[in-house]
Chain A
Amino acid sequence: MKPIAQTIDLVKYYGKEGNLVKAVDHTSVTIERGKFTAIVGRSGSGKSTLLHLLGGLDRPDSGKVFIDGDDIYAMKENELARFRRQKVGFVFQDYNLLNSLNVWENIVLPIGLDNRKVEKDFIMDIVESIGLKEKLHTRADKLSGGQMQRTAIARALAARPAVILADEPTGNLDSRTELEVMALLKKCVSHYGQSLIMITHDETIAQMADTVCVIEDGKVVAAE
């Protein structure tokens, strides 16, 4: 079984000499399949850059990123875009839902855009376990924060990606909703065997992951 994600000597610097920012500095991490991994670090520690590099949203200065065994930066731009659509699910802090669409439409939109068949039973299963069944026909802008993030999680799961990348998924939620969304993410990992990588600055959230990677100044300093 290959690891779901792996970086080898990954480097990404910003800025010029003098005020060079070493966002990711010779980082090699291996992330296990079917696990919930948290990457925790203070703001500015380079964790967002690392997540973007893992998701193929950016290009590294040097080093390699393997997702599900594929060297993603050996791909051409259009191949990488297709790879991202099919293999990576994203959950962001600000949900990125389309307000004019309802919950169901938001969930199935990426699948339709990718010209794939919508597996209705599978998606209804997700919707039910995520507690959105009654809200399916509600427009996204009529939802609460927790419901929006649950919709975003359902959208990420529905496309059956190899890995879900979550960037501070509970950043805009109150403490109680945060706990619930985290419980949901955890449940999805165990229920669907999904691999999940989440970045956060908050140890209170990170402790719920199976594995915690601590990152400081672009380097992984601890993984347990």
Chain B
Amino acid sequence: MDRIRRSQIAGFAAAFLMFLVFAACFLIYQLSGQEAEIKRDLAAVISRHPELEEELLFSEEGRETVADSPELREIIATLEDKYNFSYRVSKNTIRTLKTGAVLMAAAGSAFCALALFLWVTSRRRRKVLEEELRAMYTCLNRFSTGIFDAYKELPWEDGRLRPLCERIEELGELLKLHDERRAQEQENTKALITNISHQLKTPLASLRMSHELRNDASLSQEEREEFYESEQKEIMKLQELLDVMVNVSRLENHMIVIRPVPALLRNTVEAAFNTVCVKAAHKGISLALHMEEDFIVSQDVRWSTEALVNVLDNSIKYSPSGTSVTVRVQPLTASVLLEVEDEGVGVPSAEYHKIFQRFYRGTRAAAMESDGAGVGLYLARSILEQQGGTIRVKAARGGGSIFQLTFVLAEPLQNC
């Protein structure tokens, strides 16, 4: 709207200027005619009175003093009466008017030129603007076909549309990011499915084998029972694996919500011990707990227990029989440190940051135990971090590992 008004005003101004120029030209033409007429009359006067030629011409050049004698004035007055023209007045008026007209014409033309120049530049600017808009249009079109770095071809000049360009750029980057995330998630899901199916294959295969063999008529009762037992073991393994997998996939898809509330830590530790003690006893590994006082920490008891069970499970799995797993609890300033120390295979320091990644299995761990999905520690870390705590591993003096878990104290001690 504003633009239209402005161009209208510009149009009127240009028309007015043109009118002025024409008027000035017309005036010049008219005045030139009058001047010629005066000159003609003057010539006529001089031809009749040759003796006055000098005075008349001098007076034309403005040397009033010489020509200004009373006699001359008289003669001129007579002449003016006779020929009916006022020589000096008209001469001066015409000259002034002519100068004015010339000036006006010059100024008018200059303004016209300026207006033309402005018009051309604004046209060029509009063209640039149009090009920028077209580039943006193309860019947005390419976004919709999935080419998200099309924004790199946008004009980079500091035009008036620069802010718009920047928004489009941000949009492109956002789309790209989302696209990458989606691809990443797809990859993740694929990896998850591949891993789960891979992990399930082995126990399922051995289960099927023993199931098929058990129906063989030539088997003794004793052998049959043996197969039955191993089947049960495999079923247990499958069950455990599935439980962990379900938890991982639920955690990844944000179906598990961890709600930390102030709760006693000892209960969590005892619940975890109860879960793993059978397995430990089976393997001949002794469990020990050193916990002098109890602490109220911020935790989701169910998931804290799950995390601790996973860490203990891991230590039991990768320790030889006859060793012990020790848990120590001690206060820090704003948190409580829970250490799980084993005498197992240990973790090489270059693998420290990898063992908490999903499906990562340490080189020594993989060499020692064929089953293990590489999700227990990942799950433990996810849970603990969502409660504001941490987990890390370091080498124990005896060659095993120490897992250090922290829980946030519900009421921080301030005296450290």
* Chain A contact residues, CB within 8 Å of chain B: 1-2, 38, 130-131, 133-135, 144, 146-147, 176-177, 179-180, 182-184, 186-187, 190, 203-209, 212, 224
Q: B352, A207: Cβ atoms under 8 Å?
A: yes
Select B390's contact among A176, A186, A203, beta carbons within 8 Å: A186
- B406 in contact with A180 (CB, 8 Å): yes
* Contact mask for chain B residues 66-90; partner A; CB cutoff 8 A; 1 contact, 0 none: 0000000000000000000000000
> Which one, A146, A183, A209, contacts B353 given CB within 8 A?
A209
* Bound CA span A44–B272, Å: 44
Query: Are A207 and B356 in touch, CB under 8 angstroms?
Result: yes
Among B353, B385, B416, chain A packs the most CB atoms within 10 A around the CB of B353
Task: Flag if A187 contacts B388 (CB, 8 Å).
Answer: yes
CB-based closest 5 A-B pairs:
A207-B353, A207-B352, A134-B414, A131-B334, A203-B349
- Tell me whether B237 is interfacial, beta carbon within 8 Å: no
Sample of 30 A–B contacts (CB below 8 Å): A1-B173, A1-B174, A130-B334, A131-B333, A133-B414, A134-B414, A147-B416, A176-B332, A177-B332, A177-B333, A177-B416, A179-B337, A179-B404, A180-B332, A180-B335, A182-B390, A182-B392, A183-B335, A183-B389, A183-B408, A184-B334, A187-B388, A204-B352, A204-B392, A206-B352, A207-B353, A209-B353, A212-B353, A224-B353, A224-B354
| A179-B390 CB under 8 A given contacts A1-B174, A1-B177, A131-B414 | yes
Closest to B331 in A: A176
Q: Check if B357 is an interface residue, CB within 8 A of chain A.
A: yes
Bound-state CA distance A203–B337 (Å) is 19
| Chain A residues in 8 Å Cβ range of B354 | 224
Q: Which residues from chain B contact A176 at a C-beta distance below 8 Å?
A: 330, 332, 337
Query: B353-365 toward A: CB 8 Å interface, digit per residue (1/0)?
Result: 1101100000000
Q: Is B393 an interface residue (CB 8 A)?
A: yes
* Nearest A residue to B355, CB-CB: A207
A contact residues around B412 at 8 Å (CB): 131
Task: Kindly state whether residue B224 has any CB partner on chain A within 8 Å.
Answer: no
B255 within 8 A of A: no
Q: A180-B335, A190-B385 are in contact. List 7 more A-B contacts (CB 8 A).
A: A1-B173, A2-B173, A134-B414, A183-B389, A183-B408, A204-B393, A207-B353
Q: How far is the CA of A176 from the CA of B339 in the complex (A)?
A: 11
Least distance between A180 CB and chain B CB atoms (Å): 5
Decide: A203 and B414 in contact? CB cutoff 8 A: no
Q: Does B394 contact A (CB under 8 A)?
A: yes
Number of interface residues of B (CB under 8 A): 29
A207–B393 touching, CB < 8 Å: yes
Once the chains bind, are B392 and A180 in contact (CB under 8 Å)? no
Q: Are A180 and B333 in contact (CB under 8 A)?
A: yes
B389, A146: Cβ atoms closer than 8 Å: no
Q: Decide yes or no whether B350 CB sits under 8 A from chain A.
A: yes
- B382 → chain A, closest Cβ, in Å? 12
- Chain B residue at minimal CB-CB distance from A40: B353
Within 8 A of A (CB), among B374-396: 385, 388-390, 392-394
Write out, one digit per residue, whether chain B residues 171-213 have a CB within 8 A of any chain A CB (1) or not (0): 0011001000000000000000000000000000000000000
Decide: B334 and A206 in contact? CB cutoff 8 A.
no
**A44–B173 Cα gap in the complex (Å)?**
36
Query: A183 and B352 in contact (CB under 8 A), knowing A144-B416, A146-B416?
Result: no
- Contact yes or no, B349 A204, CB < 8 A: yes
| A130–B388 alpha-carbon span in the complex (Å) | 12
Within 8 Å CB of B352, what residues of A?
A: 203-204, 206-207
How many angstroms between the C-alpha atoms of A184 and B416 in the bound complex?
A: 15
- Contact between A180 and B414 (Cβ–Cβ < 8 Å)? no
- A132's nearest neighbour on chain B, judged by CB, is B414
0 or 1 for each of B13-37: is its CB under 8 Å from A? (1 = yes): 0000000000000000000000000
Q: How far is the CB of B400 from chain A (nearest CB, A)?
A: 15
In the complex the two chains form, is B392's CB within 8 Å of A146's CB?
no
Contacts of A186 in B (CB 8 A): 385, 390
Distance of A144 Cα from B335 Cα, bound (Å): 17
What are the residues of chain A within 8 A of B356 when measuring CB–CB? 207
Picked from B177, B385, B389, B394, the residue with its CB within 8 Å of the CB of A204 is: B394
Taken together as a complex, chains A and B put the C-alpha atoms of A105 and B356 apart, in Å, by 40
B257-278: CB near A (< 8 Å → 1, else 0) gives 0000000000000000000000
Bound-complex Cα distance A53 to B354 (A) = 28
Chain A proximity of B254: nearest CB distance (Å): 15
What separation, in Å, do the CA atoms of A131 and B177 have in the docked complex?
Answer: 37
CB distance from B338 to the nearest CB of A (A): 11
CB-nearest residue of chain A to B349: A203
Tell me how far the C-beta of A68 lies from the nearest C-beta in chain B, rounded to whole angstroms. Answer: 13
Q: What are the residues of chain B within 8 A of A144 when measuring CB–CB? A: 416
Shortest A159–chain B CB gap in Å is 22
